[in-house]
Structure 1
């Protein structure tokens, strides 16, 4: 009798990938419903899997969030390309990017918190996502600074932190419907260079 010894490992890998994708789908549903602070066991329960299977694929909440955000990165990067292609004004481009960044980091309630922590913890699974956000923000910020539209002392990392902080505060208990727009305006006034202080645009 001939035994196909490769069938079992292949089946195992296939089942494992299906489980992984199923966990991501269920986690996205639960995080969208209840925010990112829900119990990991609830994800496993809804997915119909044991906790061991969940933790084998995603040992921590941060690793699960990192996988979900990676899946959404393509959409955010497409928005970056669109902004760069449609806006020659560095000030407008930076403002639009920060808006897109704010949308990205608030796709789930409570997400700004783990991202803020990951900016300090280089070993966090979310650290790579954060560094990509900082790097891209730096490109827009550098262009705005070169044009005299943004204050020279503003740093890309701090700008990302202010977006995370303002979005986090917008969900605080004392916040109301106008808090988000107000906080974003305050942040903008911090990095924005008033026209009267800008260097004249060099003429050729």
Structure 2
């Protein structure tokens, strides 16, 4: 229910500011990485730094908002793949490939995602937890077939595929090798006794 004490025009202005901040932040962070200056974001959006912080009190809150739709899509994609009739290990590999592409959306994002593992107060933590949970469902389904090592857990897998994104982030010349590197990870996860 809208706050009746705030004039409609002011609420509309706040919404426009928020959308403008997100639009500019997407461009600035794609260009400069996740550690881009929030002062630059505010300046380019034509708002004060205080306005930016009213909408997004932390860098992680801004990143989480920018990434939420893609992260929610990845979590839903895990369910689609599980129900899609693919062998579970193939569904897992496909999802991991999509994750590595998404995690490479912004320079510095792989490091930001890994930092959320131990920081439950981070705005990104809940989104990352949802993705790790989705990944865990795929992993368990593949493990139940006996085709994936039983000693691997979701955190292991999250760290491994995030490392692939980090490699491409640090050495863009290796980005073209992402699929090959993921195939090597999948080979390492294979449980040969289950074949």
Alignment TM-score > 0.5, same fold: yes
Structure 2: gaps of 5 or more residues: none
RMSD: 2.1
Deviation at 1:82, TM superposition (A): 3.8
Secondary structure in 2 aligned to 1:63? helix
- Return the structure number with greater relative CO, CA threshold 8 A, min gap 6: 2
Return the alpha-carbon distance in structure 2 between the equivalents of residues 42 and 166 of structure 1: 29
Once the two structures are overlaid, the 10-residue window that deviates more, 179-188 or 162-171, is: 179-188
* Preserved CA contact (<8 Å) 1:79 1:100: no
Aligned partner of 1:22 in structure 2 is 20
* Preserved CA contact (<8 Å) 1:169 1:175: no
Deviation at 1:143, TM superposition (A): 0.4
The alpha-carbon distance between structure 1 residues 172 and 74, as it changes in their structure 2 partners (threshold 3 A), is closer
Once the two structures are overlaid, the 10-residue window that deviates more, 74-83 or 21-30, is: 74-83
Which structure has greater helix proportion? 2
Matches within 5 A, 1:158-169: 158-169=156-167
Secondary structure in 2 aligned to 1:26? helix
Deviation at 1:87, TM superposition (A): 3.1
| 1:61 partnered with 2:55 | no
Aligned partner of 2:188 in structure 1 is 190
Deviation at 1:90, TM superposition (A): 0.7
Deviation at 1:50, TM superposition (A): 0.7
Aligned partner of 1:202 in structure 2 is none
Deviation at 1:60, TM superposition (A): 1.6
Matches within 5 A, 1:1-204: 6=4, 8-173=6-171, 176=174, 179-194=177-192, 197-198=193-194
Q: Structure 2 length as normaliser, TM-score?
A: 0.88
The alpha-carbon distance between structure 1 residues 30 and 14, as it changes in their structure 2 partners (threshold 3 A), is same
Deviation at 1:84, TM superposition (A): 2.9
Return the alpha-carbon distance in structure 2 between the equivalents of residues 47 and 177 of structure 1: 31
Return the alpha-carbon distance in structure 1 between the equivalents of residues 133 and 113 of structure 2: 15
The alpha-carbon distance between structure 1 residues 100 and 176, as it changes in their structure 2 partners (threshold 3 A), is closer
